[in-house]
Amino acid sequence: MKIDILHAGYCTSPEHLAIQGGRWRAIHFPAMFALFRHPQYGAMLFDTGYSYRFFDETKKFPKRFYRWMTPVHLKEEDLVVNQLATFNLRPEDISHVFISHFHADHVGSLCDLPKSRYVYLPHAYSHLRHLSPEEDMKHAFLRGQIPSDIDARSQEVDLSRSILLSEEYAPFKTGYDLLGDGSIIGVELPGHAHGQMGIFARNDDDKVFFFVADAAWLKRSIVENRPPHKIANLLFPDPIAYRETLGKLQTYTLTHPDTIVVPSHCDETISQFSVSGHK
């Protein structure tokens, strides 16, 4: 399987909010997505980053506060559909989208992918279905980004079919074989969002990638086990679980130095990869 790490736009925010003891200056938080090209299932994505729908959905109050809190920068060439074209792929070529969670910066282009199956943990979306519009922003959820036919195209992970993971994945003990061939393993990473899912994937060079979504915003947070500023606890449904997940990620990272651990918004990590490099 070929794996390319890309990003569709970025937002800015002070570093000290993302990691305790960080600087007060604003830094870039890329909206990462990954392209997988699988020999059987073809082209697939992990998340989709931003799209112009973010701006459409945040024109009016109170959602305009979302735009103010995390100023978003997005160019035409950043859009998922345009980046796919550099790989000679069309939007309808994407067979699956593995959704880490439903925050707006992770699902911006779902509506642009007309043939995709959406794979996610069921509780990642179930708690959002019946929110009042006033509650959406509290959950970083913009319902206008969600396709009207999501139910027909969803392939929710069957929680009753978890598998025991080998020592290769320790300290993560259980996961989900998302394609049935062992090529993509999903694991729940609780704390940041309901039903947040990370995935393990292996490329043609036998290199293992671990996409950890927003279980940490910066790779340095994982390595040093340094969580975000305490104010971020107001955004998390379970701050205690967040800390536990961060500790497990640190243990995994220190004991698996050859794995490429990819937080979805770590500029330092994502900048190592580019379309031109096709790593």
CATH of the domain at 137: 3.60.15.10
Query: Where do we find the tokens 């642009």?
Result: 112
Q: Is residue 169 assigned to a domain?
A: yes
Q: Specify whether the CB–CB gap between 232 and 217 falls below 8 A.
A: no
Q: Is 44 helix (H, G, I), strand (E, B) or coil?
A: strand
pLDDT at 273: 80
- Residue 254 pLDDT greater than 50, yes or no: yes
Q: Specify whether the CB–CB gap between 5 and 32 falls below 8 A.
A: yes
Q: Is residue 277 assigned to a domain?
A: no
Q: Is residue 278 assigned to a domain?
A: no
**Is the overall model pTM greater than 0.95, yes or no?**
yes
Tokens of 170: 């320790």
Q: Is residue 180 assigned to a domain?
A: yes
Q: Is residue 275 assigned to a domain?
A: no
Q: Is residue 156 assigned to a domain?
A: yes
Distance between CA atoms of 200 and 178, rounded to whole angstroms? 10
CA angle centred on 28, ends 23 and 30, rounded to 5° = 140
Confidence band of 274 (pLDDT split at 50, 70, 90): low
- Residue 137 pLDDT greater than 90, yes or no: no
Into how many domains does the chain fold? 1
Distance between CA atoms of 203 and 145, rounded to whole angstroms? 30
Q: Is residue 67 assigned to a domain?
A: yes
* Amino acid code (one letter) for 57: E
> In the predicted model, what is the mean pLDDT of residues 179-200?
98
> In the predicted model, what is the mean pLDDT of residues 17-21?
96
Distance between CA atoms of 209 and 118, rounded to whole angstroms? 21
Q: Specify whether the CB–CB gap between 101 and 55 falls below 8 A.
A: no
pLDDT at 276: 41
Q: Is residue 128 assigned to a domain?
A: yes
Using a pLDDT cut of 90, give the percent of the chain over it. 92
Q: Is 223 helix (H, G, I), strand (E, B) or coil?
A: helix
**What is the separation of C-alpha 220 from the centre of its chain, rounded to a whole number of angstroms?**
17
DSSP state of 143: G
Task: Name 42's bridge partners.
Answer: 38
Q: In sequence order, which ranges of 190-273 are alpha helices (DSSP H)?
A: 219-223, 239-255, 267-270
pLDDT at 277: 38
Mean per-residue pLDDT of the chain: 95
How many other CB atoms are found less than 10 A from the CB of residue 95? 17
Instruction: Give the residue numbers spanning the domain of 136.
Output: 2-270
pLDDT at 6: 97
